[in-house]
Structure 1
Amino acid sequence: MRTRPTLSWTNQGPSLPRTTALTDVVPIVARGGVLVLSGAGLSTESGIPDYRGEGGSLRKHTPMTYEEFTTSEAGRQRYWARSHVGWRTIARAHPNAGHRAVTTLHPLLAGVITQNVDGLHQAAGSPDVVELHGGLDRVICLDCGMLTPRLDLDRRLREANPDFRATTDEINPDGDVFLPEHQVRGFEVVPCEECGGVLKPDVVFFGENVPRPRVEQCYGLVDNARSLLVLGSSLTVMSGLRFVRRAATAGIPVVIINRGETRGDPHASIRVDLPLGKSLTELAEVVLQSGNGDLPGR
């Protein structure tokens, strides 16, 4: 029978789990049944910055909201012009050591839920990834619901805007970038080829709800897991935090590996503050070779 992890209390409320060594994670992962919940911090080593970490894009960029996209033609023009530039960086990104380590650990995993929309888990070879917030590699028509590949839309946008030459070095996890207004002005947005409707990337914008069936699927994965391993997520928004809370309430150990504190720390059994790529590679090597033992330099 599972028992809920206990938290010590101070006069200020529950104390955070101490930051521990990666060796403490080994026996939990070696048991198997590990559900991975990944965030933008896992993709930073692939050249895609996160939202809230040091230098995160929310410090200088306001993401597109669902309300603005669906109600403002100018907002859609601005988004697609900027996303047309940003998509090139997302499409060129390659999985890093952290993604590859998660794939290596696949025999011990109960599943992977990612809050990322970059498709790098799948590119690294992880099967059956649940994309909580959707994927930038697809486009959906808000009128007829037809899904089409982003590559097709990219081609159509290039054909409709042959003189568009904007570039930027600032990319966001959702593929959006900053462009000055004069570069956005005049950008031609193309409609759905099937019905002429409004096209939107098949991702969950800020202010938009994750589809309920997808949430229930993730709850089912949590309920059947032996542990929850959070990788590179600040858990600032409820979208991911609810699964941490669900696991903790059920007595399922929660392990968080992230640079810096997270909103889920009070629910964690173990919290590790280390770079993800190198740490996950070492973790996978030790777990799969011996199932226990010491990690180098930890």
Structure 2
Amino acid sequence: MSSQCPSDELLVEEAKQGSESAFTALRNLHRKAVRGCIRGRVYPKDVDDIEQDVWITAFAKLALYDRNRGPFIAWARNLAHWRIIEHYRNRKREGTTFEDFDRRGLSRHAEDSETSNLLVKAQTPADPDRVLAELELREHFLRVTFCSELPPHQLIVFGFAKLLEWTPREIVAELSDLSLGDLHNRLECEYLQIVRMRRRVVHDCFRPLRERMEPPLGQVIADSNTRRLYEDLLCLVAGKTILSNYYTRRVPEENVAQWCGDVKKRILPRLLEDLAKLKK
């Protein structure tokens, strides 16, 4: 087997023959996408258990997977979808209503909870009204975030952390040598894999940030302090600059954490204001 990541098809075939290592590799390749499909649609404390159930089911039913009907990740996400439905049915039998779930979700952890609920508000998969509300909230979150005039490197890092659940360590380890243009494209593509939104809508939400990849950095950064900090980069095309160009601390993870905090501080008041209007 090549040292490169094997294709899904090869891993699936080996796993069907009983290779646990092949299935583990398959799970590692798609864990973020499956987890992203679950996260936000259930309580945070239930995510790990549901994800584990999905992979146990996937291993047990792997013989039923037919590559001619779609890629493995689509099949795995479908398993996650039905496991979430089963989870809610069980909760309903236990007397926990979806309205109770929403009230508890909206009242937890103050600001962080409010922001999270705007992005990933819990809902019943079978309820069209709730599905529509969730999609509208997701779209609003994306538009508020990526229409911001904050530096593009901060918005991109925030996107990986908030939308895809990457940790600062993962961001530094895997993304530091990539250009902002490549990172923007990757963020949008990977988000499309885990969100139930139309491609056209997501593409339009990312458009303001995409357009800021084309001019020189000096034309897309207005803040005077930021301009002084990255004076040597201002003449370069924004999308061609490398993420590591923006690190200013000895520990880059500290930069990443700070950028995410800066974006959150900027967009949170707007999101809370809009959420208050929605509650009325």
Instruction: Give the alignment's TM-score, normalised by structure 2.
Output: 0.28
Which structure exhibits the higher relative contact order, with contacts defined as CA atoms closer than 8 Å and separated by 6 or more residues? 1
Instruction: Give the alignment's TM-score, normalised by structure 1.
Output: 0.27
Which structure shows the bigger proportion of residues in helix conformation? 2
Which structure shows the bigger proportion of residues in strand conformation? 1
